[in-house]
Structure formats: structure tokens, C-alpha cells
């Protein structure tokens, strides 16, 4: 574990350095009150990306989707989101506390249009993800690719999530939609662009150990990214993420688990 953490920190450091260095950096870092604050903010971002994105990616080859999940309290499921919130808050403070609406690209002045746009994007992202996963799965089958061990079975971690109460699942949906979109779209994509933020978003979901699922995760991230680029507003993306997760956690997965 220690070696994996160290490797993740090294790789994350190289990634952040590559994104922020040069005459035309990919990562557009806003002005900070001092150089020291800027360096501290980038160091915190490096640690966050290492823990939230790079570590799951490094551990991916050894992940067994059929492993029994650790018996953690419900609130432990929010540790990853707490890490992202802490990074965003620290960056905001170090940057001199700019207006939150500008900091996280919150442009919506009326909630109804954002809800409509987000709901449409969420439904679209679900259709796109399922279609793409079906196509890739069919191509892999035709090509004779060997299915991973346990493929086609419902992973225990999925069963554990479905077994949560309705209120707990709704809280997970709300947290994921707000926190993940605030970080990966409102913060990251606004500064680094659609493709790098989508790749990091996908990497952060590799802990499930399901290769076909990552195709869907990348697809929905691209859809959210396109919506964000078109609207310049993170709120529809939050709604879209929530709609997608609601379809999965409240409708599809309970049916799949109940029928398996």
C-alpha cells in the first residue's frame, strides 16, 4: 500500500507539473495572492489527484470485482467526496476567496432551465453509455476476447449499495452529483479542458474493477463535459449526474440484483 501511495504521488506530481508548466500551460491556474499560496494549492491538488485518481488506476489490475466489500459504516462511503470538498475549499481560500459562482462556474440564475437541461443530459448520457457499452461488449465477444473472472455476475459492492435504504441511496446520488461535478467539471474542466478532466474522472472510478463499466463512465463524462462547454455552467452537469445515478441506483440495479 505504501509503495502504491508513493508511486501515485510521484505520477501525480509529474502530471500536475506537465499540465502547469511551459509558456502555454494546459492547466490555466488563476492568479494567487502570492507564489507560496500557488505552490501550496498545487501541492494539495497533486495529493488529491494521487489519492482520488492515480491510486485507483494503479490498483486496477489487482482489483477483483467479486471481492466482498469491506464492512464500513455508511458515512465512510463519503470519504472520497470529503477529500474533493477539502481540496476545493483549500484552493478557494488560498486563491483569495474569489466569488464561489466564478470559482466553480455556477452560472445558473434560474433553476428551472438548468433542471430541464440537466435532466435531458442525464437521460442522454445513460442512453449513450449503455449503447456504447453494448457495442464494445459485442465487439469484444466477436473478437474472442476472454471475459474477466466473474464477468456477468453482480459484484458484491453493487449488491451492498443496492441494499442501502432509499434515503441513503438518495444521499449518495446527491453527494456524487454535486461534489464530483463541482470538482471534475466546475473546477478541473474549467481549467484543464474536457479530455484531461474526463480521463481523470474515469480513472477515479477504476476501483470497481469492471473494464466495460469504464467505457460507460468515460462516455457520460464526455457528455457532461460537452454540456459544460456549451453552457459554461456546472449546475446542469450536477443535475445530469444525479439523473444518471438515480436511474442506475433506483431503477436498473435493483431490478438486476433482484433478478440475479
Confidence of residue 147 (pLDDT cuts 50, 70, 90): low
Tell whether the model's pLDDT for residue 18 goes beyond 80: yes
Contact 144, 254 (CB under 8 A): no
CA distances from 190 to 38, 102, 128, 256 (A): 17, 10, 23, 37
Contact 46, 9 (CB under 8 A): yes
Confidence of residue 128 (pLDDT cuts 50, 70, 90): very high
Q: Mean pLDDT across the stretch 136-157?
A: 73
Radius of gyration of the chain (CA): 19
Mean pLDDT comparison of 134-138, 140-144, 148-152, 185-189, highest-scoring range: 185-189
Residue 257: predicted pLDDT:
83
Percent pLDDT > 70 in the chain is: 94
- The secondary structure of residue 70, as a DSSP letter, is P
Residue 63: predicted pLDDT:
74
- The secondary structure of residue 75, as a DSSP letter, is G
pTM equals 0.93
The full length of the chain comes to: 260
The residue among 234, 228, 217 whose CA lies nearest residue 194 is 228
Q: Mean pLDDT across the stretch 13-41?
A: 92
Residue 134: predicted pLDDT:
93
CA distances from 137 to 85, 93, 223 (A): 35, 45, 20
Q: Which residues contact 16 (CB under 8 A, 6 or more apart)?
A: 27, 42, 45, 46, 49
Judged by average pLDDT, the poorest of 104-108, 182-186, 200-204 is 104-108
Q: Is the dihedral of CA 109, 112, 115, 116 positive or negative?
A: negative
Q: Is the dihedral of CA 66, 67, 73, 79 positive or negative?
A: negative
**Share of the chain residues as helix, strand and coil, in percent rounded to the nearest 5:** 75, 0, 25
Residue 69: predicted pLDDT:
66
Quick check: helix, strand or coil at residue 108? coil
What dihedral angle (degrees, nearest 10) is formed by the CA atoms of 17, 232, 172, 6?
A: 0
The per-residue pLDDT for range 58-108, each reduced to its tens digit, is 998 877 777 766 676 888 889 999 999 999 999 999 999 999 999 999 998
Q: Which three cell numbers stand for residue 210?
A: 469492471
Higher-confidence residue: 209 or 4?
4
The C-alpha atoms of residue 223 and residue 124 are separated, in whole angstroms, by 8
Residue 205: predicted pLDDT:
93
Q: Mean pLDDT across the stretch 16-45?
A: 92
Give the H/E segment covering residue 99.
Answer: none
Amino acid at each position: 500500500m505504501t509503495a502504491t501511495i508513493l508511486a501515485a504521488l510521484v505520477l501525480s506530481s509529474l502530471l500536475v507539473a506537465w499540465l502547469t508548466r511551459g509558456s502555454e500551460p494546459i492547466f490555466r491556474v488563476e492568479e494567487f495572492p502570492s507564489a507560496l499560496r500557488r505552490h501550496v494549492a498545487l501541492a494539495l491538488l497533486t495529493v488529491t489527484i494521487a489519492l482520488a485518481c492515480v491510486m485507483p488506476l494503479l490498483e486496477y489490475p489487482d482489483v477483483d470485482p467479486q471481492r466482498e466489500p469491506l464492512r464500513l459504516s455508511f458515512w465512510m462511503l463519503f470519504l472520497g467526496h470529503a477529500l474533493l470538498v477539502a481540496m476545493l475549499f483549500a484552493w478557494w481560500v488560498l486563491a483569495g476567496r474569489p466569488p464561489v459562482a466564478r470559482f466553480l462556474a455556477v452560472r445558473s440564475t434560474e433553476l428551472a432551465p438548468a433542471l430541464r437541461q440537466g435532466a435531458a443530459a442525464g437521460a442522454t448520457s445513460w442512453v449513450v453509455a449503455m449503447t456504447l457499452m453494448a457495442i464494445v461488449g459485442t465487439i469484444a465477444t466477436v473478437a474472442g476476447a476472454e471475459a474477466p473472472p466473474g464477468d456477468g455476475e453482480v459484484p458484491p459492492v453493487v449488491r451492498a449499495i443496492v441494499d442501502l435504504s432509499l434515503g441513503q441511496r438518495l444521499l449518495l446520488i446527491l453527494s456524487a452529483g454535486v461534489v464530483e461535478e463541482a470538482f471534475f467539471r466546475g473546477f478541473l474542466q474549467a481549467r484543464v479542458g474536457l479530455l484531461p478532466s474526463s480521463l481523470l474522472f474515469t480513472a477515479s472510478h477504476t476501483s470497481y474493477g469492471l473494464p466495460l463499466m469504464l467505457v460507460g463512465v468515460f462516455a457520460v463524462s464526455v457528455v457532461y463535459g460537452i454540456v459544460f462547454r456549451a453552457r459554461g455552467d456546472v449546475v446542469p452537469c450536477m443535475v445530469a449526474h444525479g439523473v444518471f445515478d438515480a436511474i442506475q441506483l433506483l431503477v436498473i440495479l435493483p431490478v438486476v440484483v433482484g433478478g440475479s
